[in-house]
Amino acid sequence: MLNENIKTIRKSKGLSQQELAIKLNVVRQTVSKWEQGLSVPDSAMLISISEILETPVSTLLGETVVGLEVDGLKTISEKLEIINLQLAQRETARRRMFHWLFILLSVAIIAIFVVLGVLNSPYLDWNYSDPETAVFGAAFHTFEWLFIRLAPVILIGAIAGIFLTRKKI
C-alpha cells in the first residue's frame, strides 16, 4: 500500500522519481525501491515525503489513493459546478443592470427632448447685456446644441443596448 501510494501521489504531482529523489536528498534507486515495495522509508523520511508530496502521512500509509482521487475529482467537479452557477448568476445580474441602465438612458434622453421642445429655446429672448445672463445663456445654448446633435446617436445606441441585453427566451 505505501509503495503504491507514493508512486500514485508522486505521478499525480507530476514528479519523476529523479525529481522526488533530489528533493529528498536520496538517490533515484531509493525511490524506485520504495515504489517497488523492496524497502520502506524510515519515519523521518516518511514525514519528508509527505511534506514534499503535500499529503498527510496517514494517506501515505492508509488505503490506496485511487479511491481518494475519485472522491477528489467528484469534489472538484462539484466545486466547479458551483463556480459556474455563480458566474452565470453574476452574468445575468450584470446583463439585467445594463438593460435597465439603457432603458433609463433612453427615457432620460426622451424627457430632455420633450423639455427642450416645450421650452422652445427661451434663452434667445434674454437680455445678454448682463454678464451673468450672457454666460448662463451661452452655456444653455451650448448644451442644447450638443444635446440635439449627440442625443439621437446615444438614443439609438441605448435602444440597441436594450435589445441586446434583454432576457433570452
Q: For 88-109, how does the pLDDT look when each residue is reduced to its tens digit (9 = 90+)?
A: 899 889 999 999 999 999 999 9
Looking at the domain assignment, is residue 83 inside a domain?
Answer: no
Contact in structure between 24 and 49 (CB atoms under 8 Å): yes
Cβ–Cβ < 8 Å for 45, 16: no
Full residue range of the structural domain in which residue 18 is found: 2-63
Q: How far apart (Å, rounded) are the C-alpha atoms in residues 142 and 5?
A: 77
Residue 151 pLDDT > 60: yes
Give the pLDDT mean for 129-146.
Answer: 88
Residues 95 and 136 in one domain: yes
C-alpha cell at 149: 446633435
Per-residue pLDDT reduced to its tens digit, 42-54: 878 888 898 898 8
| Mean pLDDT calculated for residue range 81-93 | 88
**Domains contained in the chain, number:** 2
